[in-house]
Chain A
Amino acid sequence: MPVPPVHALVFSLLLFAVGVLGVLTRRNAIIILMSIELMMNAANINFIAFGLRSHDLTGQVFAVFTIAVAAGEVAVGLAVVLALFRNRDTVYVDEVHIMKG
């Protein structure tokens, strides 16, 4: 392995943390969706680095599945955002609150 596995893990943890921070701090639904993609990318880095370390193909296969799932998720998510925008003219999650309690 070209780098120690721990370094790859540190990289993915930091990327994951950036994604989580994005979800928690931003209020634009599109940016939140981008942050979720960052989190999934972080998981993929783990899969590939760990797979390489243990000479196991499963990690790479899992990464391919993750990418497919992410693509589906983005398509649905953006459609949801679009449907909301048509009715409400906003993509900011804190401006969306008819329901309370």
Chain B
Amino acid sequence: MTSLFNPNDVRLITPELVLTISAFLILGLSVLPDLGRKTWAPVLAGLACVSTLASLLSFVWMFGLEALRTPDMTIGFNGMFILDAFSIFFKVVFLLAAMLTILVSARYLEVERAHTGEYYALILFAVVGMMFLASAGDFITIFVSLETMALSFYILVGFLKTNRKSNEAALKYFLLGSFSTGIFLYGISLVYGTTQTTVLGLIGISRAKMALQSPAAPIFVLGVILVTVGLAFKIAAVPFHMWAPDAYEGAPTPVTAFLSTGSKAAAFVVLARIFSMGFLPLGQRWATLLAILAVASMTLGNVAAILQENIKRMLAYSSIAHAGYVLMGMIAVGLGDTVETREYGLKAVLLYLLVYTFVNIGAFALVIILRREQVAGDRVADFAGLSRRAPWAAFAMLVFMLSLAGIPATAGFIGKWFLFGAVVKAHYAWLAVVAVINSAISLYYYARVVVNMYMKAPEGAARLAPSWGQRVAIGACIAFTLVFGLYPQPIIAFAERSILALAPWAS
């Protein structure tokens, strides 16, 4: 009999193990008697933050600085775990998103009187789920880690359990989330039935083509469609978006920030893996499907965002629209007739998700610091006169809004540039035209926030008192947006290197 597993494989999951152990530690500390909330709270937040940093550094420990530039693809746990540059890119994005989220959370939880260790433990467990997702090479691992992430988020969205909005958000998110899980799972079962494997690589190499030519082709195609629908729910693409505005508005704002960046990027990593490794022979078909989703998401997201008075809701619709933009990159992967086009599309997806993570968490961080006792601070009107009350905060929000709108000299512009370029390269220029028109529409509601901040009189004179963690997070987001907006080469190179390993189409 062969041994159960190769003990050397454990080394591959060091970053995940670091997070898991810290999460256990946090859970243990949070139940210590008497010191429960007051004294331990900063320690728990600090520990959570340090653990994400340690997890990031463990990549350096695993590969060394030089090898990290182009790590070889390593497969462990009998093919269940793929550690390549692609997965490392996303793991870095998830860890950065988690770190920023934890930095902005502490003060918010104090104001909401919901400061407990479970919150940080759940954030870390969600990240562990996402990181395994990025490395999953098999439908079983994908399914189990996707659910680990999703369950953590259901709980986090409903974490303010005495708050009715939070309850409502959790219920809607949970019901639609599990509905989508059911659809996704049924799709996987049909794909398994027609290809007789759950390993993505095996499906993609030959079996997808064989399944298409067999009499069972309709079952296979239905499976692919159901998998797409399940993932479309997770990225909140129209018409599977109805949970997003409610979930985003009702959830604790730091969780909203994490949900709109980390969870969305995680859904896209699965989409990219499954479609580029497993379903590539069907590229033309699923690209058409994604094009419909992309056009609907961009248009409805941007138009609905104009009507919103609540800024979390507005950012939710904006996030739906951004999911539509990112889908364009995947369309180029599916349609591209040359390896170059496909790689360009995938590169654009990676780049955009990285940029979006910083910009969107930054924007939500501003909403978080407006939250004080008795003031929800989540209406667009709450930003009125911010430039006079807190010039730096207003400047930060200005930068993030411009970046979300894709104005040149911000990182958001670079991301959009590559996405639009990708569909043009794939001879789908009309989609780029739709996207440009949509960007113009989006300018209206982003500008409305700016106008509120700079042209209107302040409603109250209360000063903002961000914690140092929130200052650091917002500072990092501004720095990222401006520095890489003007000098994007490093992040472009990072994205370019990260897709080299994931090139099943190269053969």
A contact set with B: CB distance below 8 Å: 5, 9, 12, 16, 19, 23, 29, 32-33, 36, 39-40, 42-44, 46-47, 49-50, 53-54, 56, 58-59, 61-62, 65-66, 69, 72-73, 76-77, 79-81, 83-84, 86-88, 93, 96-99, 101
Contact = CB atoms under 8 A, between A and B. Distances in A.
B315 to A, nearest CB: 13
Contacts of A81: 171
Interface in B241-269: 245-246, 249-250
A84 B171 contact: yes
A94 B308 CA distance: 22
A43 B140 contact: no
Contact of A73 (B151, B162, B171): B151
B174 to A, nearest CB: 5
A49 B165 CA distance: 43
B179 A72 contact: no
A43 B193 contact: no
A61 B196 CA distance: 13
Closest 5 pairs (CB-CB, A-B): A39-B182, A46-B189, A50-B193, A84-B167, A43-B189
Q: Is the interface of B mostly helix, strand, loop or mixed?
A: helix
Contacts, number: 136
Contacts of B308: 101
Interface string B153-167: 011001001101101
A29 B308 CA distance: 28
21 contacts: A23-B179, A32-B179, A39-B183, A40-B181, A43-B186, A44-B189, A46-B193, A62-B188, A62-B189, A62-B192, A65-B144, A69-B143, A79-B155, A80-B171, A80-B174, A83-B167, A84-B168, A93-B171, A97-B168, A99-B169, A99-B250
Interface in B442-484: none
A12 B161 CA distance: 37
B147 A40 contact: no
Contacts of A62: 139-140, 143, 188-189, 192, 198
A76 B219 CA distance: 32
B198 A58 contact: yes
A40 B182 contact: yes
Contact of B164 (A9, A72, A93, A98): A98
B168 A96 contact: yes
A61 B141 CA distance: 12
Contacts of B246: 99
